[in-house]
Amino acid sequence: MSDIVQLKENGVPKYLKTHVDAIDGVEGKLVRATGNETILGIKNFKDGLQIGGISAVTDKFASKSVTTTNTIDFMSGSKVIFYRWGRLVVAQIEISNKNANFAGWKNLMPFPAGYRPITVTGWGGTLTNKSNRNPALSVYANSAGIAVMVSSTSLPTDQLCSGCVVYFTNDNWPS
C-alpha cells in the first residue's frame, strides 16, 4: 500500500502517514482482527469481554435468594442464597427440617437460571446442624436440582442446618 501524503511543500511530499496513521484521533496502531498482539494500558470494555464465548470478567457480582417451595419436608424459611462472581458460584444453604425422622433424600429446589452447575457430578457437601451436634445433613445435586439427605432416623424436628457449596457455571449472566 502506498503512503498517504497529507501535505506537500514546494512539490515535495511532507508528513507521510500510513493508512492507519491517517485516521484522525488514532494514537498508535489499530488492533488486528486476527493474530497475536500485546496491547498495553487499561481498556474499559463497557459491554463486557468474552473469551471463547465465556465472560472473562471476574469482578461482576450477582446474588439471588431462593426459598424452597417444598414445605412438606422443610420449614418455610429454608433457603439457598446463590452468590455469583464471574463463573464461580457459592451456594449458601440454610434449612430447617419440618418433621422428625427425616431419613432419606428430600428435594430442596431446582437451580435458578444463571446459577446452574456445569455438572452435578461431584457437587455436594455437608450441612452442619446448628441446633444440635448431630446429625449433620448431606447435600448433593441431581437433574432435579438440590437434594438433602440425613442418614439417621434420630433427627429431631426443626433442626437448623447450614453450609456452603462452591462450584462453576457456564450459564449466561443472571437477569
Q: Judge contact between 97 and 159, C-beta under 8 A.
A: yes
Specify which residues 140 forms β-bridges with.
Answer: 124, 147
Q: How confident is the model at residue 144 (pLDDT cuts 50, 70, 90)?
A: very high
Q: Identify whether 174 is preceded by a cis peptide bond (ω within 30 of 0).
A: no
Q: Judge contact between 80 and 87, C-beta under 8 A.
A: no
Instruction: Locate all alpha helices (DSSP H) within 44-115, ordered by sequence.
Output: none
| pTM over cut 0.85 | no
Task: Note the pLDDT tens digit of each residue in 53-112.
Answer: 777 766 678 999 999 999 999 999 999 999 999 899 999 999 999 988 777 889 999 999
> What pLDDT does residue 8 have?
76
Q: How confident is the model at residue 17 (pLDDT cuts 50, 70, 90)?
A: low
Specify which residues 96 forms β-bridges with.
Answer: 160
Beta strand spans in 40-78 (E): 50-51, 54-55, 61-67
Q: Look at the alpha carbons of 70, 73, 79, 80 in this order and tell me if their dihedral is positive or negative.
A: negative
Residue 74, Cβ neighbours under 10 Å: how many? 23
Q: How confident is the model at residue 122 (pLDDT cuts 50, 70, 90)?
A: very high
Q: What is the arithmetic mean of pLDDT over 130-149? A: 90
Q: Judge contact between 169 and 154, C-beta under 8 A.
A: no
Of 162, 165, 160, 163, whose CA–CA distance to 141 is shortest?
165
Looking at per-residue pLDDT, the higher value among 42 and 172 belongs to 172
Q: Judge contact between 69 and 107, C-beta under 8 A.
A: no
Top-tier CATH class for 61-168: mainly beta
Question: What does the alpha-carbon distance between residue 147 and residue 169 come to, in Å, rounded to a whole number?
Answer: 18
